[in-house]
Structure 1
Amino acid sequence: MAALLHLDASARRRSVSRRLGQAFADAWKAANPGGAYTYRDLGENPVPFIGEAWTELCDYVMEHGITEIDRLKEAVRTPEQAAAWAIVEPLLAELVAADVVLIATPMYNYGVPATVKAWIDQVTFPKMSLAGRRFVVASARGGAYGPGTPKERFDHQESFLRDFFAGHFAVEDTVFVNAELANSRIDPLLAHLREAHDASYAAALRVAAELGGEPS
């Protein structure tokens, strides 16, 4: 059975990235009527940052060469570690159960929001593979960061996520759908770019829906 994990990360309730994610999710649910759909709002209900007890779990996993995700719980030995695992376990279960992971996120300060990084840190352990899954990142960016733009080199959002998913999770299928120049909606100095934003946004909505409608 196909399964989608849908994460929202924007601090805004009505945001471009949330709408892009919804376009993908709606199309996915229509294409997979019997599929399992799990939603988590990291913007409204952020997961906590990792603490020392989490690092102790990680150390145990490395020391004992544990690579199987279903064996990670063996690292729990103290009440503090049990509390840390209680945070990790549902997040990890949602991730492992999905064959498609959708992350709808804005770009904040050239990178991912802290909410996304906190989620990544919680669910990431040494030598853990998520090969075979597809990751889709539906992103809104205030400026323009595409190939050939003056700020292309400042895009640490896409490069970080692509490299991390490939380098640590062994994920070969990561797709990005970006709506650019979103700040033209509110910044008078960027008002002349609103038409370009509208075109980018419309194209991103179309691509998100097309990707969501592909067979899982």
Structure 2
Amino acid sequence: MNTLLHLDASARRRSVSREVGTAFAEAWRAVHPGGTYLYRDLAAAPVPFIDEAWTELCDNVLRTGVTDLDRLHEAARPPGQKAAWATLEPLFNELVAADVVLIATPMYNFGIPASLKAWIDQVTFPKMSLAGRRFVVASARGGSYAPGAPRAPYDYQERYLRDFIAGHFAVEDVTFINAELVNSRIDPNLAHLRAAHDDSYAAALHTAATLAKEY
């Protein structure tokens, strides 16, 4: 049975990244009526930042040599570490259970929101291979960071996520669906690019809905 893990990271309740992510999720659920759909709104219900107890828990796992995922809880000993594991365990279980991970995120300051980074930091330990899973990133960016665009070199969002997912989880199957020039909706200086944004947005919605049928 297929499982989709859907993460939203935008601080806006109504946002382009959420809409593109929803287009993928709805199409995926239509194709997999018996599948499992897991959802987390990382902005509305933020994942705690990692703390010292989390690092100590990681140290204990390394010291004890526990590799069986079902026994990781045994490394959590003092109360602080048990609390860290209680936060991490459901996030970890959702990620491991997923066949497809959908990350809907805006670009903030050339990178990703703190809410998404907090989730990433939580699930980076224990390091594991998720080879065979597929990741989809539904992204909204204020300007254009497409190849050849003047701001393309400043796209640390896609570069970071692609490098992290491949380098940490050994997953090369990562697809980005980017809606560009979102700020043309509100910034008078970008108003002349509104048509280009509308085309990019429509293409992203179409791609999301079409791609989901292949997953």
TM-score range, shorter chain: over 0.9
Checking the alignment, whether the CA contact within 8 Å between 2:10 and 2:43 is kept in structure 1 is yes
Q: Distance in 1 between matches of 2:136 and 2:84?
A: 28
The residue number in structure 2 matching 1:90 is 90
> Structure 2: which amino acid aligns with 1:125?
F
Name the residue aligned to 1:149. 149
SS at match of 1:168: helix
Gaps of 5+ in 2: none
State whether residues 138 and 176 of structure 2, in contact with CA within 8 Å, keep that contact through their aligned partners in structure 1.
yes
State the Cα distance separating 1:115 from its structure 2 match: 0.4
- Asked whether the 8 Å contact 1:68–1:128 carries over to 2, the reply is no
Equivalent position SS for 1:90:
helix
Match of 2:64 in 1: 64
**SS across alignment from 1:139:** strand
Give the alignment of 1:72-151 within 5 angstroms. 72-151=72-151
- Distance in 1, Cα, partners of 2:28 & 2:197: 25
User: How far has the Cα of 1:129 moved from its partner?
Assistant: 1.3
Report the 3-state secondary structure (helix = DSSP H, G, I; strand = E; otherwise coil) of the residue aligned with 2:101.
Answer: strand
Letter in 2 for 1:203: A
Following the alignment from structure 1 to structure 2, what is the Cα–Cα distance between the partners of residues 131 and 107?
Answer: 26
1:162 aligns with 2:170: no
Alignment: residue pair count: 215
In the alignment, structure 1 residue 183 sits paired with structure 2 residue 178: no
Cα RMSD (Å): 1.1
| Identical pairs, percent | 73
Q: Give the TM-score, by structure 2 length.
A: 0.97
Q: Give the whole-Å Cα distance in 1 for the aligned partners of 2:178 and 2:67.
A: 34
Partner of 2:10: 10
For residues 141 and 42 of structure 1, what CA distance do their matches in structure 2 show? Answer: 18
Residues 161 and 67 of structure 1: CA distance in aligned 2, closer, same or farther (over 3 Å) = farther
The alpha-carbon deviation at position 126 of structure 1 amounts to 4.2
Match of 1:208 in 2: 208
The one-letter code matched in structure 1 to 2:161 is: L
Residues of 2 paired with 1:158 and 1:195: CA distance?
Answer: 24
8 Å contact 2:64–2:75 — kept in the other structure? Answer: no
The alpha-carbon deviation at position 130 of structure 1 amounts to 1.1
Residues 162-188 of structure 1: CA deviation (Å, up to 9, x unaligned):
001101111121110000000000001
Q: Which stretch of the first structure deviates more once superposed, 48-57 or 119-128?
A: 119-128
Residue identity opposite 2:206 in structure 1: R
Partner amino acid, structure 2, of 1:131: A
Code of the aligned partner of 2:196:
A
Matches of 1:35 and 1:13, distance apart in 2: 26
Q: Equivalent residue of 1:105, what SS? A: strand
What are the superposed Cα offsets for residues 44-65 of structure 1, whole Å, 9 maximum, x if unpaired? 1111100000001111223334
Q: Secondary structure at the match of 2:147?
A: coil
